[in-house]
A and B are shown apart, each in its own frame.
Chain A
Amino acid sequence: MSELRDLYQEVILDHSKKPRNFRMPVAVTHEAHGRNPLCGDTFTVFVDVENGTIKDIGFQGHGCAIATASASMMTESLKGKSLQDGRALFEWFHRLLTTPPDVGTPAGPLGKLAVFSGVREFPVRVKCATLAWHTLKAALDREAKAVSTE
């Protein structure tokens, strides 16, 4: 069953079982709490920004494999990036998940994050993959209240 393998790729399973940066950084300049009201999944994303650069990033909470792997891989992709590049990556990731599968997969600077393209076959799961990213954006925008993917 190829759809199953396309969705739950090895790298996604690996990150969901062993999430990277699953912690609160020592210094935190931005944080936000995100929640998917459909399933109750919830993450807090912590960022330490110094001179316009994401010096450290981590997350805590619980979610499904897609949400957890996405959060984990997001933190790996963003550490050391400039805020500008981080925001650009958010846009690319968002575009990846909202581009219809038959139109193709946007390349851009996504790198490993392209493994999430399989999620597009399951529209109700797109919110799982974007939960951590929306939470990150809220943190960087310094939105005070919890974000929701609804």
Chain B
Amino acid sequence: MSVERSAQAPALLDVERIRRDFPILGRSTRGRPLVYLDNANSTQKPQVVIDTESRFYSEQYANIHRGVYLLSQEATEAYDRARERVARFVGARSPREIVFVRGTTEAINLVASSWGRTHLGPGDEVLISGMEHHSGIVPWQMICEERGASLRVIPVTDSGELDLDAAEGLFTARTKILSVIHVSNALGTVNPAEALVAMAKARGVPVLLDGAQTISHRAVDVTELGCDFFVFSGHKLFGPTGIGVLWAREEILDAMPPYQGGGNMINVVTFEKTTYAPLPFKFEAGTTNIAGTLGLAAAIDYVDALGYEAIAAHERKLLTHLLAGLSAVPEVRVIGSPKERVGVLSLTLDGVHPHDAGTILDLEGIAVRAGHHCVQPLMARFGVPATIRASLAVYNTEAECDALIAGLAKCVEVFRR
């Protein structure tokens, strides 16, 4: 969808100005200017996010939903506004559909545990994909084991895309949910949400989309996507760590049992019986990450002001530049060639182990991830134990892509000695 939108040539971003919004981009590492290309792992924070958290603690802090005093009221109102902001951001029908959690991982665990406990039985099947992050595998594996259900996996093609024909054949009468990563954290592949949702809906199967990697690159509208659950983390959206979002349709959340018990999630507690708070508080036991929530709302405001069309256009330009430069290094092998990809790619270097490359690049001030990226089954699928992953964000530049390419050439050189 954003491809069509960006065809209208959005205004180019002033990247130098954007870079000044992120104080950390001014520092150096190992005596070199920092080239931060590990954005799929976590993004850096703009000053406005840092200030929002800091101001909350220095001027407005109190716990929410507890005090009758003004400070607590103000904190509660700010928290509620943040939830409304997130609801608007993802196109939810109501803030009641927004549950704050620690991150994508906790969101999937919440769904697997609460929804899975009441919807999965012996012989049932959970359909996932071969490019899931471990957080899209293990929570389902755990609940499947508990409930006597099993996992089925949509295979990945050589181009790094989901095999949709095979997916069709994997739905059975026992398929209870389809849980898929929307954008691959390792390959950058944008999976065809529309086709997958249509496939599931035709069989009455609910869909969870893991939007952890979607959210910093593409606009999300849950109604348009047609999924039933959408989850993401704040820290991959230039927001704080320890805050994430579970969106689900209200009637689904309403029918789900609580995930954790404790304060805030109750209505009336006696030793005989407890009644639960209405949505979304039923799923927010204990004191939540209030400062992080406000920081997330600030990050959303920041990204929205830049505009997703402009972000996508900038990243597409960078990715084209990067891929062209990489093709000039004969030892580089980019994993997969998906038709639709965000600025995330995994590569291997002939004759250089990814960890050695990671260290040599680090000495050049370049931060990339070297390893299995929490997708061991996907690595096995491509027959590599690990890769080097470069992932772009809105503040990256063509010069930084060039630095990476030169750094990779240097890695090859070191091992040719």
Chain A residues packing against B (C-beta within 8 Å) = 1, 3-4, 7-8, 10, 13, 17, 38-42, 62-66, 122, 125, 128
Q: How far is the CA of A86 from the CA of B300 in the complex (A)?
A: 58
B354-370 interface with A by 8 A CB criterion: 354-356, 359-360, 362-363, 370
Are the CB atoms of A65 and B356 closer together than 8 Å? yes
Are the CB atoms of A39 and B359 closer together than 8 Å? no
Q: List 26 A-B contacts (CB under 8 A).
A: A1-B363, A4-B363, A4-B414, A7-B359, A8-B360, A8-B414, A13-B414, A13-B417, A17-B415, A39-B354, A39-B370, A40-B372, A40-B376, A40-B379, A40-B386, A41-B355, A41-B385, A41-B386, A63-B353, A64-B355, A64-B356, A65-B353, A122-B359, A122-B362, A125-B355, A125-B359
The answer to whether A66 and B386 touch (CB under 8 A), given A39-B372, A40-B371, is no
Chain B residues packing against A (C-beta within 8 Å) = 30, 352-356, 359-360, 362-363, 370-372, 376, 379, 385-386, 414-415, 417
Are the CB atoms of B385 and A3 closer together than 8 Å? no
Q: How far is the CB of A4 from chain B (nearest CB, A)?
A: 5
Q: How far is the CB of B346 from chain A (nearest CB, A)?
A: 13
Q: How far is the CB of A126 from chain B (nearest CB, A)?
A: 12
The listed residue (B30, B355, B362, B385) touching A128 by CB distance below 8 A is B355
The answer to whether A39 and B371 touch (CB under 8 A), given A65-B353, A66-B356, is yes
Q: How far is the CB of B368 from chain A (nearest CB, A)?
A: 13
Q: How far is the CB of B381 from chain A (nearest CB, A)?
A: 13
Taking A4-B360, A40-B385 as known contacts, 10 extra A-B pairs with beta carbons closer than 8 A to each other, sorted by chain A number, are A3-B30, A4-B414, A10-B417, A13-B415, A38-B371, A41-B385, A41-B386, A64-B354, A125-B359, A128-B355
Q: Which residues from B are CB-within-8-Å of A64?
A: 353-356
Are the CB atoms of B415 and A65 closer together than 8 Å? yes
Q: How far is the CA of A28 from the CA of B147 in the complex (A)?
A: 43
Q: How far is the CA of A117 from the CA of B353 in the complex (A)?
A: 20
Q: Which residues from A are CB-within-8-Å of B356?
A: 8, 64-66
Q: How far is the CA of A38 from the CA of B371 in the complex (A)?
A: 7
The listed residue (B359, B379, B385) touching A62 by CB distance below 8 A is B385
Q: How far is the CA of A7 from the CA of B376 in the complex (A)?
A: 28
Q: How far is the CA of A64 from the CA of B354 in the complex (A)?
A: 7
Q: How far is the CB of B357 from chain A (nearest CB, A)?
A: 9
Q: How far is the CA of A3 from the CA of B370 in the complex (A)?
A: 19
Q: How far is the CB of A33 from chain B (nearest CB, A)?
A: 14
Q: Which residues from B are CB-within-8-Å of A66?
A: 355-356
Are the CB atoms of B360 and A39 closer together than 8 Å? no
Q: How far is the CA of A17 from the CA of B417 in the complex (A)?
A: 11
B417 and chain A: residue at smallest CB distance: A13
Q: How far is the CA of A76 from the CA of B379 in the complex (A)?
A: 32
Q: How far is the CA of A55 from the CA of B35 in the complex (A)?
A: 49
Q: Which residues from B are CB-within-8-Å of A38?
A: 371
Q: How far is the CB of B342 from chain A (nearest CB, A)?
A: 24
Q: Which residues from A are CB-within-8-Å of B385?
A: 39-42, 62
Q: How far is the CA of A63 from the CA of B414 in the complex (A)?
A: 17
Interface centre among B360, B370, B376, B414 (most CB of A within 10 A): B414
Q: How far is the CA of A8 from the CA of B355 in the complex (A)?
A: 13
Q: Which residues from B are CB-within-8-Å of A65?
A: 352-353, 356, 415
Interface centre among B30, B359, B362, B370 (most CB of A within 10 A): B359
Q: How far is the CA of A3 from the CA of B356 in the complex (A)?
A: 13
Q: How far is the CA of A15 from the CA of B360 in the complex (A)?
A: 18
Q: How far is the CA of A3 from the CA of B233 in the complex (A)?
A: 36
Q: Which residues from A are CB-within-8-Å of B359?
A: 7, 122, 125
Q: How far is the CA of A19 from the CA of B356 in the complex (A)?
A: 16
A8 and chain B: residue at smallest CB distance: B414
Q: How far is the CB of A23 from chain B (nearest CB, A)?
A: 20
